[in-house]
Amino acid sequence: MRILSVRPCSVAGVLTLLVACSSQSATSPKPPTLQLTSAQAQAMTQRLQEIAASNPGISDLADSIMVGIQAGVGVSAINLSGDLGAGPFYAFGLKRVFSGSPGFGPEFDVLAFDNPSDPQTFMILDVFAPGSDAASGSFDGSSGTSATGFVFQVSGDSSLTWAPTQGVVTVTGDGPNGGCGAYQAPTGVTCAQETMHIAFNITSTVPEFGTGGAGPTAAFAGADVQGIVLTFAAGSQVQ
């Protein structure tokens, strides 16, 4: 697959988000969960490999997301509105904890996509949490920490990559709540499950590379989604 993209700035782009963060409670919405089949997991992994091959800057993150998929994370159905297509859409969360760097807080990532058997819309959101289980950031530098990521739209053998111009993202983790079953994580990596609360509003995107052209918009009111926590020991090969 060939990636076509346009960069308006030096920061890696992602969808523009407005995320309303709320505490986890019995009243938090819990969308239906889909367990990926082996064929769907393979399709997701292949798409990530294609994206990472054309975007080396996200290769480490793509490796971590693939670990989450291989660990059997459930994906949560989300009600996504906007102009990204009819869906249905799904999402799961990833938290990366770097135990070899005690001064570096956890990093939250959200993966959202349309068809797990052949994803045509693929979103990766990334936000740094300074030493806590709650991460809040902006794409235009107006608040919080720096948020980055990508929105990919596949068409045939090519893909457009979109970057945000403004917006914020906030993700709240509910804390690890169990292991990853029989999954054997790579050496130096510990795997656990965690519920995460996400919500977002993509208000404006532009091509990641080049000039001109308004990108897609999308909004998600917010819900608890399934998630994976990966804790990396110092020197682990996958991060």
DSSP 133-167: SEEEEESSSSSBEEEEEEEEEEETTEEEEEEESS-
- Provide the pLDDT for residue 239: 53
Along the 239 residues of the chain, how does pLDDT read in single tens digits? 433 333 333 333 333 333 333 334 344 566 788 999 999 999 999 988 888 888 788 888 888 899 889 898 899 999 988 888 888 999 999 999 888 776 677 889 888 999 999 998 988 888 888 777 888 877 777 777 777 778 888 877 777 888 877 777 888 988 888 888 888 888 889 999 999 999 887 788 888 876 667 888 888 888 899 999 999 887 666 65
- Provide the pLDDT for residue 14: 33
- Provide the pLDDT for residue 3: 38
- Provide the pLDDT for residue 1: 41
CA 159 vs CA 126, 181, 213: distances in Å: 20, 35, 15
Residues 6+ apart with CB under 8 A from 145: 127, 128, 129, 130, 135, 136, 137
* Spatial contact of 129 and 104, defined as CB atoms under 8 Å apart: no
